[in-house]
Amino acid sequence: MLRTHTCGELNINSLGQTVTLCGWVQKSRDLGGTTFIDIRDRFGLTQLILNADTDAELREKARSLGREFVIKVTGKVLERTSKNPKIPTGDIEIAVEELDILNAAKIPPFLIEDETDGGEELRAKYRYLDLRRNPIRQNLMLRHRMGQEVRKYLDAQGFIEVETPVLIKSTPEGARDFVVPSRMNPGEFYALPQSPQTFKQLLMVSGFDRYFQIVKCFRDEDLRADRQPEFTQIDCELSFVEQEDILNIFEGLTRHLFSVVKGITLDTFPRMQYSDAMRLYGSDKPDVRFGMQFVELNDVVKGKNFAIFDNAELVVGINAKGCAGYTRKQVDELTDWLKRPQIGASGLVYCRYNTDGTLKSSVDKFYNEDELTNWAAAFEAEAGDLMLVLAGPADKVRKQLNELRLEMGGRLGLRDKDKFAPLWVVDFPLLEWDEENGRYHAMHHPFTSPKPEDIALLDTEPGSVRANAYDLVINGTEIGGGSIRIHEKTLQSLMFKHLGFSAEEAQKQFGFLLDAFEFGAPPHGGIAFGFDRLCSIFAGLDSIRDVIAFPKNNSGRDVMIDSPSTIAPEQMKELNIATTN
């Protein structure tokens, strides 16, 4: 090794030792003829000192060092006169006796410190420098730790990690595929997997019993902060289990991770039906770090000649505790915020429960104080609260109120990043109406099983068939989801039919799975966790970008390596393709 120690391990017990360290120059300063240099590596920071006792030539060399130079120094460990209790090496310094410059460095384009002055684009271009910063490197070390712990836990539970192929087959279901032209099979393409779904089910047919994989998946979708064209799943499947078993095992995994990685002990995770989540929070991934549940007011507010409420399918509101002091201007701003196209509310009705006990609403013309008292009762509001009410088509207004609830929760400090509120959402609908294509599509995917008691409804009321499907939600973010799968050919064929596949199409795309179900497929189910999202939640980040070493931007570009890029005409010729743009 070029070093005897890392920059994070020497302390008062090392006094007198002659050591060799390697690392980057964090900073360098001259104080009255003495040169202090902080040398940094992944493990920490150590102070070097060169003073009147040091060889003059060496001091000259030390003074020539710039930030981020890579150096190797040998010297003796001394006790510092001025100690720094904030760092583990703060009691000591190294009196430099030898100094090698292993590599010089240009001045970096932004500060390599916890708080940097670099903009997003600049940091993306020099990602390798941004990765030098502690906060980013800590995220990736956290991710490593989590991956190790996931594997340990699942291994101990009898899961086998099996790698499934990356070059697979394009299928019409789900998101858009990335494809790969095959040179050896002209005119044909592989697709990159959106998930290893069918392979993991085949592994159950093969009798693997418990499978997992931490695996890259790919979706050619338009991107936003929490989406990347390539992302990582903790992908799992189990045989001979029921939904309850899966929830318990993966609740166990999640609690294990919180315990060993963050030192947080979580209680048993609550479970909520999809229908309740929609009714009480307007979302299938409610943030239950705080209450502020929806209160439906149709029975309370209708019939008072307020046309907007009378004509609305649903009148529903939330109680913003302690917000009665909101000024008219603040409420107007909130109303404007709700009316933005992203949310699209048509207006906001409010009712203040003043601290003096009086009630004052924006619809006093239609509702007298007695009636507003009924509102307050419905909201279980107290003096000092602010009731916020929306009206309109049920689905739409719930979505809008969900946004408002999250906004108010944020304003009231109820969305603390250090608090973790997990939740299982269960009993999802099997099918979802696809307006654009005028047909139902699978809410999870076509392999999800309907609840046996609902199968009869498939023909008559497809939209009300419930699935054996579940999501794990933490702090309002979907972390994982899964289902008990169909394992019988007849039911799977029926499902494809309901999704608008002809028998021929189903056979062409998924024949291997339908065939497999005829050779002894066990009952099975599984779950997939978004590993990037899980890591970002653990790291307290809003975006998944900074738990990914080399992420792509919103145009799917890696600006550091400048990819994608054009390829040589000979490459295209060999692959039997041409560009048409």
- For the segment 489-528, give every residue that binds a second copy (CB under 8 A): 511-512, 515-523
Is 228 annotated to bind a ligand? Reply is yes
Q: Which is nearer to a second copy, 231 or 424 (CB)?
A: 231
* Binding of residue 131 to a second copy (CB under 8 A): yes
Q: Least CB distance from residue 564 to a second copy, whole Å?
A: 4
Subset of residues 155 to 174 that bind a second copy, contact rule: CB under 8 A: 155, 160-170, 172
Among 141, 225, 377, 503, binds a second copy (CB under 8 A): 141
* Binding of residue 202 to a second copy (CB under 8 A): yes
Cα–Cα distance measured from residue 92 to residue 18, given in angstroms and rounded to the nearest whole number? 13
Q: Which is nearer to a second copy, 71 or 297 (CB)?
A: 71
User: Of 214-222, 263-271, 320-328, 495-503, which segment contacts a second copy by CB under 8 A?
Assistant: 214-222
Residue 395 main-chain phi, psi, to 5 deg? -60, -45
Among 80, 151, 255, 304, binds a second copy (CB under 8 A): 151
Cα–Cα distance measured from residue 387 to residue 297, given in angstroms and rounded to the nearest whole number? 12
Cα–Cα distance measured from residue 506 to residue 489, given in angstroms and rounded to the nearest whole number? 11
Cα–Cα distance measured from residue 269 to residue 255, given in angstroms and rounded to the nearest whole number? 9
Cα–Cα distance measured from residue 123 to residue 21, given in angstroms and rounded to the nearest whole number? 28
Subset of residues 434 to 453 that bind a second copy, contact rule: CB under 8 A: none
Q: Which is nearer to a second copy, 239 or 254 (CB)?
A: 239
Q: Are 478 and 285 in contact (CB under 8 A)?
A: yes
DSSP-assigned letter for residue 172 = S
Burial 355-367 (b: 16+ CB within 10 A, else e): eeeebebbbeebb
* Binding of residue 61 to a second copy (CB under 8 A): no
* Binding of residue 232 to a second copy (CB under 8 A): yes
User: Of 27-35, 197-205, 317-325, 359-367, which segment contacts a second copy by CB under 8 A?
Assistant: 197-205
* Binding of residue 289 to a second copy (CB under 8 A): no
Q: Which is nearer to a second copy, 164 or 448 (CB)?
A: 164
Is 532 annotated to bind a ligand? Reply is yes
* Binding of residue 487 to a second copy (CB under 8 A): yes
* Binding of residue 574 to a second copy (CB under 8 A): yes
Q: Are 147 and 154 in contact (CB under 8 A)?
A: no
Q: List Cβ neighbours of 430 (8 Å cut-off, separation of 6 or more).
A: 442, 443, 448, 450, 454, 462, 465, 466, 467, 469
* Binding of residue 184 to a second copy (CB under 8 A): yes
Q: Least CB distance from residue 466 to a second copy, whole Å?
A: 21
Is 531 annotated to bind a ligand? Reply is yes
Q: Are 541 and 551 in contact (CB under 8 A)?
A: no
Is 478 annotated to bind a ligand? Reply is yes
* Binding of residue 140 to a second copy (CB under 8 A): yes
Q: What is the CA radius of gyration of the chain?
A: 30
Q: What one-character-per-residue DSSP string does 30-50 give?
A: EETTEEEEEEEETTEEEEEEE
Q: Are 527 and 250 in contact (CB under 8 A)?
A: yes
Q: Which is nearer to a second copy, 238 or 334 (CB)?
A: 238
Among 128, 303, 336, 360, binds a second copy (CB under 8 A): 128
User: Of 152-160, 391-399, 404-412, 414-422, which segment contacts a second copy by CB under 8 A?
Assistant: 152-160
Q: Least CB distance from residue 505 to a second copy, whole Å?
A: 12
* Binding of residue 259 to a second copy (CB under 8 A): no
Q: List Cβ neighbours of 261 (8 Å cut-off, separation of 6 or more).
A: 142, 145, 146, 149, 538
Among 123, 132, 352, 498, binds a second copy (CB under 8 A): 132
* Binding of residue 573 to a second copy (CB under 8 A): yes
- How many Cβ atoms are within 10 Å of 174's Cβ, its own excluded? 14
Q: Mask 75-114, x = binds a second copy (CB under 8 A)?
A: ---------------------------xxxxx-x------
Handedness of CA 236, 237, 242, 245 (dihedral sign): negative
Subset of residues 6 to 35 that bind a second copy, contact rule: CB under 8 A: 6, 22, 24
Q: Are 36 and 29 in contact (CB under 8 A)?
A: yes
Handedness of CA 75, 77, 83, 84 (dihedral sign): positive
Q: Least CB distance from residue 528 to a second copy, whole Å?
A: 16
Handedness of CA 423, 429, 431, 435 (dihedral sign): negative
Q: Least CB distance from residue 184 to a second copy, whole Å?
A: 5
Give how far Cα 217 sits from Cα of 138, 207, 354, Å.
Answer: 24, 24, 53
**Chain-centre distance of CA 416, in angstroms?**
16
Q: Are 36 and 3 in contact (CB under 8 A)?
A: no
* Binding of residue 122 to a second copy (CB under 8 A): no
Is 220 annotated to bind a ligand? Reply is yes
**What is the 3 state secondary structure string of 127-163?**
HHHHCCCHHHHHHHHHHHHHHHHHHHHHHHCCCEECC
Residue 174 main-chain phi, psi, to 5 deg? 75, -150
> First vs last Cα of the chain: how many Å apart?
53
* Binding of residue 216 to a second copy (CB under 8 A): yes
Reduced to 3 states (helix: H, G, I; strand: E, B; else coil), residue 314 is: strand
Is 219 annotated to bind a ligand? Reply is yes
Cα–Cα distance measured from residue 67 to residue 129, given in angstroms and rounded to the nearest whole number? 12
Among 75, 126, 351, 398, binds a second copy (CB under 8 A): 126
Q: Least CB distance from residue 334 to a second copy, whole Å?
A: 36
* Binding of residue 230 to a second copy (CB under 8 A): yes
Binding residue count for a second copy, defined by CB under 8 A: 127
Among 176, 360, 417, 497, binds a second copy (CB under 8 A): 176
Q: What is the helix (H) or strand (E) element at residue 478, kind and residue range?
A: strand 477-484
Cα–Cα distance measured from residue 199 to residue 8, given in angstroms and rounded to the nearest whole number? 45
Q: Are 69 and 105 in contact (CB under 8 A)?
A: yes
Subset of residues 366 to 395 that bind a second copy, contact rule: CB under 8 A: none
Among 203, 314, 348, 423, binds a second copy (CB under 8 A): 203
Q: Which is nearer to a second copy, 156 or 307 (CB)?
A: 156
Is 221 annotated to bind a ligand? Reply is yes
Is 173 annotated to bind a ligand? Reply is yes
* Binding of residue 127 to a second copy (CB under 8 A): yes
Among 208, 251, 286, 326, binds a second copy (CB under 8 A): 208
Q: Can you say which residues are annotated as belonging to the binding site for L-aspartate?
A: 173, 219, 444, 485
Q: Can you say which residues are annotated as belonging to the binding site for ATP?
A: 219-221, 228, 478, 530-533
